[in-house]
Amino acid sequence: MLRYTLNRILLMIPTLLGVAVLVFLVLRVIPGDIVEVKLSAEGNIFTEEQIRAERERLGLADPLPTQFFRYMGGLLRGDLGISLWTERPVLEEIGGRIGLTVELAILSTLLAVIIAFPLGTLAALFRGSWLDYVIRVITIGGLAVPSFWLGMLIILALLLTVGTLPPLGTTSIFADPAVNLSQMIWPALSVGYRYSAVVARMLRSSILEVLAEDYVRTARAKGLAEKVVIVKHGMRNALLPTVTVIGLEFAFLLGGLVVTEQVFNINGIGKMFVEAVVLNDLTMLQGLVLVVATAFVVVNLLVDLLYAALDPRIRYQA
């Protein structure tokens, strides 16, 4: 297992390195120039000379290779440069806002799993019944409904029933968990719905597949209680593909957060990402993309490791 783990971690390095290089190269071709936007935003009239000076000051005038080595060198030291807009370190800016997004990601994953497990299991056990159909409609809906629309509907529903809108992200989870959760549960639900639908569908079909296996028939034939058959022989094996889907869907979750933070006006890194695009803030975009890609790669690594821990065949193959 240790060998497998090390192997997988080593494989991560070229991928992340590739991401870093690609992001740098791609972002250099961005049209438009933050310097002009910035100077005019301050309401000043500016000259060519000022633009040149500002570009020089921000290091944008250096030849590409110089910029590249400065960027890569910074990366190795854990330095993502300074934001071209606020001129504060990118890492600090992201660090200040990433907490909300991480909380939202964890909360919606938990919510998705909590919703998906009973739905998927029930649909598999009562296959073909009305219950299965109701659950199928719910899960198919989850794949089609845009999370930002669901968010708006939730806000609307809250307004019509409770009469107030939840103030969002204003209370830290460490200060007052109850208040924080009552605020964050709604955006988490609007992102988590899709997530839970995918997981529930996967769980249903893998349980059905496993229950058709020979060893399940054997377990039944030797007179084990149905509960034991389903939990010990069925669920356990059906969990494998489900775990993979949870990892794969994590990327969708991150994407969903970009939009949902906008709807609920949450100051996380999803909102930050859209702001950086609008402002042409190169270094900020670079940093955000790296953080998101790393998060995705790490989560998938964890999923692979979990998979290997659950299924010994995988580590022997590798």
Partner 1 sequence: MSVEAPVVTQIPAIDEPSEDRALPGIRPHRRSFLDFVRQQPLGTIGFVIVVVMFVAAIFADYVAPYAPEEVDFMASPALGGGQPSAEHLLGADAFGRDILSRLIFGARTALSVGFISAFLGCSLGAVIGTISAFAGGKVDIIIQRFIDIMLSFPIIVLAIIVIAVMPKHVVLGIDINLIVAISIPFIPKVARVIRSAALTIVTLPYIDAARAAGYTSNRIVFRHILPNVVAPYLIMLTAYIGQAILLEASLSFLGLGVVEPTPSWGLMLSGVNADYYLIAPWTIIFPGLAISLAVFAFNMSGDSLRDWLDPKLKL
Among 46, 68, 117, 296, binds partner 1 (CB under 8 A): 296
Q: Which uninterrupted H or E stretch holds 128?
A: none
Q: 266-285 mask for partner 1 (x: CB under 8 A)?
A: -------xx--xx-x----x
Residue 148 identity: F
Q: Does 102 bind partner 1 (CB under 8 A)?
A: no
d(CA 11, CA 9): 5
Q: How far is CA 77 from CA 20, 74, 110, 112, in A?
A: 14, 5, 34, 37
Which lies closer to partner 1 via its Cβ, residue 95 or residue 141? 141
Check residue 9 for interaction with partner 1 (CB under 8 A).
Answer: no
Q: Which lies closer to partner 1 via its Cβ, residue 41 or residue 274?
A: 274
Q: Which one of residues 6, 7, 18, 172 is an interface residue with partner 1 (CB under 8 A)?
A: 18
Q: State yes or no: residue 131 binds partner 1 (CB under 8 A).
A: no
By CB atoms closer than 10 A (0-12, 13-18, 19+), residue 50 is middle
Of 180 and 300, which has the nearer Cβ to partner 1?
A: 300
Nearest to 105 by CA among 243, 269, 245, 265: 269
Q: Residue 302 is inside which H or E element, if any?
A: helix 282-310
Q: Are 197 and 142 contacting, i.e. CB atoms less than 8 angstroms apart?
A: yes
37, 39, 125, 152: residue in contact with partner 1 (rule CB under 8 A): 152
How many residues sit close enough to partner 1 to count as binding (CB under 8 A)?
43
- Closest by Cα among 244, 268, 250 to 194: 250
Q: How far apart are the first and last CA of the chain?
A: 10
Which of the ranges 44-52, 102-110, 230-238, 253-261 carries the binding residues for partner 1, by CB under 8 A? 253-261
Q: Is 302 in the site for partner 1 (CB under 8 A)?
A: no
19 contacts partner 1 (rule: CB under 8 A): yes
Q: Which of 266, 114, 258 is nearest to 199 (CA)?
A: 114
Could you say whether residue 159 binds partner 1 (CB under 8 A)?
yes
- Binding site residues, partner 1, CB under 8 A: 14-16, 18-19, 22-23, 26-27, 29-31, 140-141, 143-146, 148-149, 152-153, 155-156, 159, 251-252, 254-255, 258-259, 262, 273-274, 277-278, 280, 285, 289, 292-293, 296-297
